Amino acid sequence: KHDLALASYQKALDAAADDFQIAQIALDIARETEQLGRYEEAVTRFKAITADASNYAITRATALTSVGLMYYT
């Protein structure tokens, strides 16, 4: 299930029309990576989203919160 979602998001990323879509899809990819149990990769992806100042603040905050939730849950 998550493998299929991840593949779909990868395709969507290739077709993304703007930076907002790219950031949102990257966030979805990070979430699916987490669901697959690939935690180190997920943290790396979330951190990359958080560190990119061109992303909207809400997207960056969501990525950072996701890392915190991984740690505490």
What integer pLDDT is reported at residue 73 of this predicted model? 80
Q: How far apart are CA 9 and CA 21, in angstroms?
A: 11
Identity of residue 24: Q
Query: pTM here?
Result: 0.91
Tens digit of each residue's pLDDT, the chain (73 residues): 888 999 999 999 999 999 999 999 999 999 999 999 999 999 999 999 999 999 999 999 999 999 999 988 8
Backbone angles phi, psi at 36, to 5 degrees: -80, 0
Tell me the one-letter amino acid at 47. Answer: K
User: So what's the pLDDT on residue 61?
Assistant: 97
User: Is 63:49 a contact under the CB 8 Å cutoff?
Assistant: yes
